[in-house]
């Protein structure tokens, strides 16, 4: 079987090779490539592949259709909105994701962004190095705040658990009812109620046709004036232009953003780069060393399970 790895899995190539050998045996042909975005190059690379492994690089339909022998794609990512699933269905190609690999990493970054904003850590680092003091910068505690979670999948639940340890009141919005939330002491409310009642709103839903632009200008205007918005999910879920305007106009007090409409590097005129009280990161939520090891293991296990006729993490 020919397995083509189209981009780095975030672990050493030697470790990835060993992992594949241990799980799949040595009879397979495995080819590793560095990431490229040239469609024609990608078509040639996938032409004979039976299995593809990718992380978050876009995989267009024309590339998938060029892979005449392709049977399975193992995605080293939770979201698969960067893969043309219609082309996969058309070609009867199985797609599996790396569900759960980044849950601890994203949840922890969520609180890194929250605490950075509440304590003004980033700007105070700068002024301290300039020989200045905290004068003019507020300091707020997380304890006692109402944290609203949008999307209570694995990451949302992990965030809820950590928030409760910090002493937060947790409320949540989810498209479907989650009866177990009541046992956790979490109220499940409408989206508008979560936005209007929360001191901190944290987004943990996948990107799809229903969620794209969900946090619109109108939804942002429902938030408290002293609230902050955290997005470690997917950039297009939020109208980032409207968010930047809301921050500049003082309609909300801050934002912690790890994901954008495009993958970093961002253009220097990107609106959120010039908004006040904003902590931004270049999409690092998933990228802890530990998470990279977990996802490589899941990606290869997905292939093993598929070979055995018992596929897991199927999209």
The pLDDT of residue 28 is above 90: no
Q: Is residue 82 annotated as a catalytic residue, yes or no? A: no
Which of 50, 263, 297, 304 is the catalytic position?
Answer: 263
Q: Is residue 249 annotated as a catalytic residue, yes or no? A: no
pLDDT at 25: 87
Q: Where are the alpha helices (DSSP H) in the chain?
A: 13-24, 39-46, 61-66, 85-91, 103-119, 121-129, 154-165, 180-183, 191-197, 217-220, 240-248, 289-307
pLDDT at 26: 83
Q: Residues of the chain with pLDDT > 70: what percent?
A: 100
Residue 252 pLDDT level (bands cut at 50, 70, 90): very high
Listed as own residue / partner, the contacts of 138-143 with beta carbons closer than 8 Å and 24 or more positions apart are 142/114, 142/115, 142/118, 142/166, 142/167, 142/168, 143/167, 143/168
Dig out the tokens for 182 from the structure.
Answer: 């009541």
Q: Is 254 helix (H, G, I), strand (E, B) or coil?
A: strand
Dig out the tokens for 206 from the structure.
Answer: 């996948």
**For the whole model, what pTM was predicted?**
0.89
pLDDT at 33: 96
Q: Is residue 234 annotated as a catalytic residue, yes or no? A: yes
The pLDDT of residue 105 is above 90: yes
Domain architecture of the chain: domains with CATH? 2-101+288-307 (3.40.50.720), 103-280 (3.40.50.720)
Residue 264 pLDDT level (bands cut at 50, 70, 90): very high
Nearest CA-CA partner of 231 in 267, 265, 194, 200: 200
Beta-carbon contacts of 98 under 8 Å, excluding residues fewer than 6 positions away, are: 74, 75, 76, 77, 78, 294, 295, 298, 299, 302, 313
The pLDDT of residue 213 is above 90: yes
Residue 315 pLDDT level (bands cut at 50, 70, 90): very high
Mean pLDDT of 238-261: 97
Q: Residues of the chain with pLDDT > 90: what percent?
A: 97
How crowded is residue 289: how many other Cβ atoms within 10 Å of its Cβ?
Answer: 10
Which of 23, 65, 82, 283 is the catalytic position?
Answer: 283
Mean pLDDT of 277-288: 96
pLDDT at 79: 86
Q: Is 74 helix (H, G, I), strand (E, B) or coil?
A: strand
Dig out the tokens for 187 from the structure.
Answer: 């109220």
Taking only the tens place, the pLDDT of each residue in 64-89 is: 999 999 999 999 998 899 999 999 99
Which of 234, 249, 294, 304 is the catalytic position?
Answer: 234
Taking only the tens place, the pLDDT of each residue in 136-165 is: 999 999 999 999 999 999 999 999 999 999
């Amino acid at each position: 079987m020919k397995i083509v790895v189209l981009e780095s899995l975030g672990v050493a190539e030697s470790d990835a090779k060993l992992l594949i050998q241990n799980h799949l045996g040595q009879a397979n042909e495995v080819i590793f490539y560095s990431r490229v975005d040239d469609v024609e190059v990608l078509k040639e690379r996938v032409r004979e592949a039976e299995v593809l492994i990718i992380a978050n690089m876009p995989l267009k339909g024309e590339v998938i259709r060029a892979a005449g022998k392709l049977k399975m794609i193992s995605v080293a990512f939770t979201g698969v909105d960067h893969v043309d699933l219609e082309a996969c269905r058309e070609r009867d190609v199985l797609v599996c994701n790396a569900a759960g690999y980044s849950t601890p990493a994203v949840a922890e970054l969520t609180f890194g962004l929250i605490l950075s904003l509440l304590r003004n850590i980033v700007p105070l680092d700068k002024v301290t190095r300039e020989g200045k003091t905290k004068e003019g910068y507020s300091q707020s505690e997380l304890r006692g705040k109402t944290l609203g979670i949008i999307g209570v999948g694995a990451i949302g639940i992990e965030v809820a658990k950590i928030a409760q340890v910090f002493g937060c009141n947790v409320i949540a919005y989810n498209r479907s009812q989650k009866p177990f939330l009541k046992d956790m002491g979490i109220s499940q409310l409408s989206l508008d109620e979560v936005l209007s009642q929360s001191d901190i709103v944290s987004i943990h839903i996948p990107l799809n046709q229903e969620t794209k632009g969900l946090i619109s200008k109108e939804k942002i205007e429902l938030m408290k004036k002293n609230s902050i918005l955290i997005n470690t999910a997917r950039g297009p879920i939020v109208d980032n232009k409207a968010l930047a305007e809301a921050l500049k106009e003082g309609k909300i007090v801050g934002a912690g953003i790890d994901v954008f409409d495009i993958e970093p590097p961002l253009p220097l005129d990107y609106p959120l780069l010039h908004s006040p009280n904003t902590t931004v990161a270049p999409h690092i939520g998933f990228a802890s060393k530990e998470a990279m090891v977990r996802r490589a293991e899941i990606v290869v296990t997905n292939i093993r399970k598929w070979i055995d006729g018992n596929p897991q993490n199927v999209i």
